[in-house]
């Protein structure tokens, strides 16, 4: 019954896209139908792979309720489903499905970028653990179809995320705090400030030790304010962080999400592996501070808009931004 209802919604959504009644078609509509069928095939294959390899979870982008149909039809569903989406769509939990929803920032990322965001948020929320087998399915989301399936083991070195510890995050950091910060950083990397790219560093966690290994470069705009108005989830605070993103130095954020300082010079020396080509002093200082403290650092590259995440003195992952669909771009797998 539920599957039949979603099938009808799928047909209706195609009619809305094309502006035609069900049964009518044009060249573009036929192509759209083909891409929808393509997506459905990819989802079915991902489900088959997950069952065959006894995967713990499937990470998938779903922007319409109709996309859940292949999972409803699948037999032997023993895996979690991690839904990454930009839309606040209603996904009621059908019988037998373990759904976990992660909201994506409203920015354009590469295929890997969507996987990485969902992967990190999944680990942060405790949905994924080290050793879990994960099947990722995605593609050119802005164009409305999927074309990529990837299988990996959480914790193994990969092009998605690499970390040596049990988790890439300090224990005391709450999942909603990290996810809120990551979303903010991705927005800042994509949008810049007043049309100009920005470069900035955010250090989250182990604030007392981080403050010991840093010094104030400029007046701290967050000093002297009540803590309850300095939480990173508050819209006013997020806008203030964007305003001060152009000043030199790092932002220091307590593990409970309270912003303590801006404009801090990080004094710790980097003794780890050399930074990859193209990463400079900002990235070296972020690696260094996470090497001597129990913190995680997120760095926006001013030259590329790339976001690099550091933990334990090493790079956990790098999230590339891409151009808007209205601009000419090259897809990256």
CATH 3.40.50.300 fits 175-319, yes or no: no
At residue 41, the pLDDT reads 85
Which pLDDT tens digit goes with each residue over 149-163? Answer: 999 998 887 777 877
Q: Hey, CA dihedral for 297, 113, 176, 262, is it positive or negative? A: positive
CATH 3.40.1380.20 fits 2-153, yes or no: yes
Give the best-scoring range by mean pLDDT among 13-17, 28-32, 253-257: 253-257
Give the best-scoring range by mean pLDDT among 74-88, 161-175, 263-277, 309-323: 309-323
Q: For the range 92-98, what are the long-range contacts, defined as Cβ-Cβ under 8 Å and sequence gap of 24 or more?
A: 94/2, 94/68, 97/68, 97/71, 97/72
What's the CA gap between 314 and 209, in Å, rounded? 18
SS3 call for 142: helix
At residue 210, the pLDDT reads 97
At residue 49, the pLDDT reads 92
Tokens linked to 155: 């914790």
For the chain, the average pLDDT equals 80
CA angle 170, 172, 176 (to 5 degrees): 95
At residue 207, the pLDDT reads 95
- Of residues 9 and 176, the one with the higher pLDDT is 176
Does 286 have pLDDT greater than 60? yes
User: Which value, in Å, is the radius of gyration of the alpha carbons in the chain?
Assistant: 21
SS3 call for 158: coil
Give the residue-averaged pLDDT of 282-310: 93
DSSP state of 213: T
Tokens linked to 147: 């074309």
- Classify residue 144 by burial, with Cβ atoms within 10 Å: 0-12, 13-18, 19+: middle
DSSP state of 233: T
What's the CA gap between 208 and 187, in Å, rounded? 28
What's the CA gap between 201 and 219, in Å, rounded? 17
Query: Do the beta carbons of residue 289 and residue 268 sit within 8 Å?
Result: yes
What's the CA gap between 180 and 162, in Å, rounded? 21
The answer to which of 67-76, 99-108, 134-143, 217-226 has the lowest mean pLDDT is 67-76
At residue 111, the pLDDT reads 81
CA dihedral 206→211→155→93, nearest 10 degrees, is 60
The answer to which of 50-64, 175-189, 212-226 has the lowest mean pLDDT is 50-64
pLDDT band at residue 10 using 50, 70 and 90 as cut-offs: very low
At residue 89, the pLDDT reads 59
- Of residues 328 and 179, the one with the higher pLDDT is 179
Tokens linked to 7: 């099938």
Ordered by start, the domain boundaries in the chain are 2-153, 175-319
At residue 3, the pLDDT reads 47
The answer to which of 65-69, 78-82, 116-120 has the lowest mean pLDDT is 65-69
The answer to which of 24-28, 79-83, 95-99, 319-323 has the lowest mean pLDDT is 24-28
Same fold, 2-153 and 175-319: no
Give the best-scoring range by mean pLDDT among 16-25, 267-276, 322-331: 267-276
Q: How far is CA 66 from CA 8, 251, 279, 284, in A?
A: 9, 42, 43, 46
At residue 321, the pLDDT reads 75
Tokens linked to 283: 């990235």
Q: How far is CA 227 from CA 149, 294, 312, in A?
A: 44, 22, 28
Give the residue-averaged pLDDT of 137-158: 79
Q: Which residue has the tokens 């039809």?
A: 73
DSSP codes joined into one string, 246-308: GSSSEEEE-TTSBEEEEEEEE-PPP-SSPPPTT--HHHHHHHHHHHHSS-EEEEE-TTT--EE
At residue 135, the pLDDT reads 94
């Amino acid at each position: 019954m539920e599957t039949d209802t979603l099938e009808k919604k799928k047909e209706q959504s195609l009619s809305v896209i094309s502006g035609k009644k069900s049964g009518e078609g044009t060249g573009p509509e036929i192509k759209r139908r083909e891409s929808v069928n393509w997506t459905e095939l990819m989802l079915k294959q991902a489900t088959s792979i997950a069952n065959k390899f006894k995967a713990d979870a499937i990470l998938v982008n779903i922007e319409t309720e109709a996309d859940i149909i292949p999972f409803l039809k699948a037999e032997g569903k023993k895996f979690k489903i991690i839904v990454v989406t930009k839309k606040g769509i209603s996904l009621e939990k059908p019988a037998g499905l373990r759904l976990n929803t992660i909201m994506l920032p409203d920015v354009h990322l590469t295929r890997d970028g969507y996987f990485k965001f969902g992967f990190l948020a999944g680990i942060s929320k405790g949905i994924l653990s080290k050793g879990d087998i994960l099947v990722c399915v995605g593609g050119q989301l802005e164009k409305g179809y999927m074309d990529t399936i990837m299988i990996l083991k959480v914790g193994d070195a990969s092009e998605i995320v690499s970390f040596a510890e049990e988790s890439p995050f300090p224990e005391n950091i709450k999942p909603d705090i990290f996810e809120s910060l990551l979303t903010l950083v991705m927005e800042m990397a994509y949008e810049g400030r007043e049309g100009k790219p920005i470069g900035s560093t955010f250090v989250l966690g182990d604030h007392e030790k981080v403050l010991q290994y840093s010094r104030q470069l400029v007046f701290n705009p967050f000093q002297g304010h009540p803590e309850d108005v300095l939480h990173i989830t508050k819209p006013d605070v997020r806008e203030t962080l964007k305003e001060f993103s152009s000043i030199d130095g790092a932002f220091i954020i307590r593990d409970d999400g309270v912003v303590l300082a801006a404009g801090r010079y990080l004094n710790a020396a980097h003794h780890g592996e050399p930074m990859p080509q193209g990463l400079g002093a900002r990235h070296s200082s972020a690696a260094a501070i996470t090497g001597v403290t129990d913190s995680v650092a997120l760095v926006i590259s001013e030259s590329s808009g790339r976001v690099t995440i550091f933990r334990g003195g090493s790079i956990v992952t790098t999230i590339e931004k891409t151009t808007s669909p209205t601009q000419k771009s090259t897809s990256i797998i």
